Amino acid sequence: MFFLLDTVMQGIASYVWPFIRVSSLFMVMGVFGATTTPKRIRLLLSVAVTFAIAPVLPPMEKMELLSLSAVFVIVQQVIIGASMGFVSVLLMQTFVLAGQIIGMQTSLGFASMVDPSSGQQTPMISNFFLLLTTLIFLSVDGHLVFIRMLVASFETIPVSMQGLHLRGYQALADFVGYMFGAALTMSLSAIVALLTINLAFGVMTRASPQLNIFSIGFPVTMVSGLFILWLTLSPIMAHFDEIWQQSQLLLCDVLLLSCNINGGI
């Protein structure tokens, strides 16, 4: 009887531990972790992915589900899954931040709406960049890459009380700085162009003080901002490809995976 109970509990544990890591990923990951995604959908996706990957996972060491050590194991699995989802959030927030910078510089930042990923008011340009990034992320199968890396992480970081290493936490913190740098790089051309326009208006005001700079400069700045925004969209795929490669390399470093130069495992 006790042998049967141990077998049943071990069979349940082989699905419970992967479910915690998978559900933590979907809880935070971009697109699926947005406030507009129903929690029931996230739960069903987590259950479906868990049942799909559980048979191919490496054998797990025996651990009691109802014990104090299981609490520490659950915490480690949540941290691993949430850290992977946090990388996807940083990837998309890079373009959101770039849209905020461009919107403020082009006088288009006054138009705002609710960001579906965070539920906060953000400029329309940021929401446009977020929508565009989401479509690109799904078109390159970014969500499938995250699931693939999650499955591979069970071999490099098995289910135990040992979670991410300190170098992984440091890499995540450094990637936040990289996000701000990448956002500034994308918006730098727009900043320089608008600065040139503002300098031109300053020279015009100095040469002709009777000119009403506010009535002329505001519409010209807005029209120029729309044109600059159109020019900014042409290299967005190159920017996304660069940040996407860096995100994959970051995941490989955090999860101790062996990756090639393109970020694949």
Burial of 183 from C-beta contacts in 10 A (0-12 / 13-18 / 19+):
buried
Looking at residue 263, its pLDDT comes to: 52
Lowest mean pLDDT among 61-65, 139-143, 162-166, 238-242: 61-65
- Given a cut of 80, whether residue 3 has pLDDT beyond it is no
118 pLDDT band, cuts 50/70/90, is low
pTM: 0.86
pLDDT score, position 113: 62
Residue 165, pLDDT above cutoff 80: yes
Average pLDDT over residues 252-259: 88
Residue 11, pLDDT score = 80
Residue 62 three-state SS: coil
Q: Please list the residues that pair with 113 across neighbouring strands.
A: 122
171 or 1, which is more confident: 171
Determine what percent of the chain is predicted with pLDDT higher than 70.
88
Categorise residue 256: left if φ over 0, alpha if ψ from -120 to 50, beta otherwise. left
Strands 112-114 and 121-123: antiparallel
Domain boundaries, the chain: 2-254
Q: What does the alpha-carbon distance between residue 87 and residue 217 come to, in Å, rounded to a whole number?
A: 40
List all residues 6 or more positions away from 168 whose beta carbon is below 8 Å from its beta carbon.
83, 253, 254, 255
